[in-house]
Structure 1
Amino acid sequence: MLVVGLGNPGLTYEATRHNVGHWAVADLADRYGSSFSLNSRMKAEVATINRPEAKYVLAKPTTFMNNSGEAVGALARFHKVGPADIIVVHDELDLDPSRLRLKLGGGDNGHNGLKSIRAHLGTGDFYRVRVGIGRAPGRMPSADWVLAKLRPKELDELRVDAAVAADAVEYLVQHGLADAQNRFNS
């Protein structure tokens, strides 16, 4: 199972809404004592977890969000993983904060990271764990909203959401999509 957490590289973007996917896969790695190492050929930081139910390859692309597909495509080819064995964790503007949704397939809904992955895989038929970040207030452009530095309280709340997303990934692998949706979709 390839589990990809979307985000942007570097300290400039670390505490932004766009990096919730990175936090979720980092949480999974921490739970099992695995650490990430840079694989420049795959354009990602990669960690592995071997569990009785599945082997997880965890990835945080080192490309910017809009080019996430470069890493996902390279990792999928290298590990011989098809779209049905890929889970992407990402931020979702159309869900309020503290809401989570799991699904298989679907459009990219204007999310450039998903658009890039779809282009590199040739399909959108991969699993998504969508972590709500809500819409920008007022007339703030969406790009400014997802890349804005979070206040400490917002950061703490979104890190909790990332941990719940990590729970959802594990549950999805162990129990399937329908059961995971019943448990986590809010």
Structure 2
Amino acid sequence: MWLICGLGNPERRYIGTRHNAGFAALDLLLHELGDLKLCDTKFQGACVKTRFFEESLLLLKPLTYMNESGRCIAPLSNFYRIPPERIIVISDEIELPPGQIRVRARGSAGGHNGLKSVVSCLGTENFPRVRIGVGEKPEYMDLADYVLGKIPPDEEKTMAEAYQEAAEACLDIISKGVDKSMNLHNAKRK
């Protein structure tokens, strides 16, 4: 079984914000895999089980706030006995230009509080992640205000394409392996 987790904040007021890029990509995956609905609530998260070719998948949105995402992901992965190398986490990334995707097999949280929580609760950095570039914050802005701000209209098309590519990158990790997914997706939009 694989766990694909989109990071974000659960309240409606966060829809369309930079920090909810992981939720937006997961929404596309839910649509592509059969217009699935997150209907099961476990361990402070909304999830649904499905299949992708021969693989069982569990798609998840933590219902905790971003900074506590690990409190949902770790117990759920323990319950289903999903090893870290089969947990794909989708998140926003301010170090990448808007719309650029970066797939990694493992690595540090890089200052992202949602990923810090996942690393802390799982006790490892060895899980694949798909990061979606949202661009650097302007010098005059507070980081929280920037990532919790709405995607500007002139970036909406770019970000919609990025969410689609992030969803494809997750499925490529499962069907082709993380290295192949990195080769397919990391070189785009530089």
- The CA deviation at 1:15 is 1.2
Tell me the equivalent position of 1:125: 126
Root-mean-square deviation (CA, aligned residues, Å) is 1.2
State whether residues 17 and 91 of structure 1, in contact with CA within 8 Å, keep that contact through their aligned partners in structure 2. Answer: yes
Q: Secondary structure at the match of 1:148?
A: coil
d(CA) in 2 for partners of 1:70, 1:159: 28
Tell me the equivalent position of 2:3: 2
- The CA deviation at 1:38 is 4.5
Tell me the equivalent position of 2:72: 71
d(CA) in 2 for partners of 1:64, 1:72: 12
Q: Name the % identity.
A: 36
Tell me the equivalent position of 2:109: 108
What letter is aligned with 1:185? N
What letter is aligned with 2:38? F
Structure 1 unaligned regions, length at least 5: none
- The CA deviation at 1:51 is 2.1
d(CA) in 2 for partners of 1:36, 1:28: 11
Q: Secondary structure at the match of 2:162?
A: helix
What letter is aligned with 1:152? P
- The CA deviation at 1:122 is 0.7
Correspondence 1:35 to 2:4: no
- The CA deviation at 1:151 is 2.9
What letter is aligned with 2:120? A
Tell me the equivalent position of 2:14: 13
What letter is aligned with 2:19? H
d(CA) in 2 for partners of 1:163, 1:43: 26
Stretches (4+) displaced over 6 A: none
- The CA deviation at 1:178 is 1.4
Q: Secondary structure at the match of 1:47?
A: strand
d(CA) in 1 for partners of 2:166, 2:151: 19
Q: How does 1:1-186 map to 2 (within 5 A)?
A: 1-33=2-34, 34-39=36-41, 41-186=42-187
TM-score calculated relative to the size of structure 2: 0.93
Q: Secondary structure at the match of 1:12?
A: helix
d(CA) in 2 for partners of 1:139, 1:38: 42
What letter is aligned with 1:176? G
d(CA) in 2 for partners of 1:110, 1:173: 26
- The CA deviation at 1:161 is 0.9
Q: Secondary structure at the match of 1:48?
A: strand
What letter is aligned with 1:169? C
What letter is aligned with 1:150? I
- The CA deviation at 1:160 is 2.0
Q: Secondary structure at the match of 2:60?
A: strand
TM-score calculated relative to the size of structure 1: 0.95
d(CA) in 1 for partners of 2:64, 2:156: 22
State whether residues 83 and 121 of structure 1, in contact with CA within 8 Å, keep that contact through their aligned partners in structure 2. Answer: yes
State whether residues 88 and 129 of structure 2, in contact with CA within 8 Å, keep that contact through their aligned partners in structure 1. Answer: yes
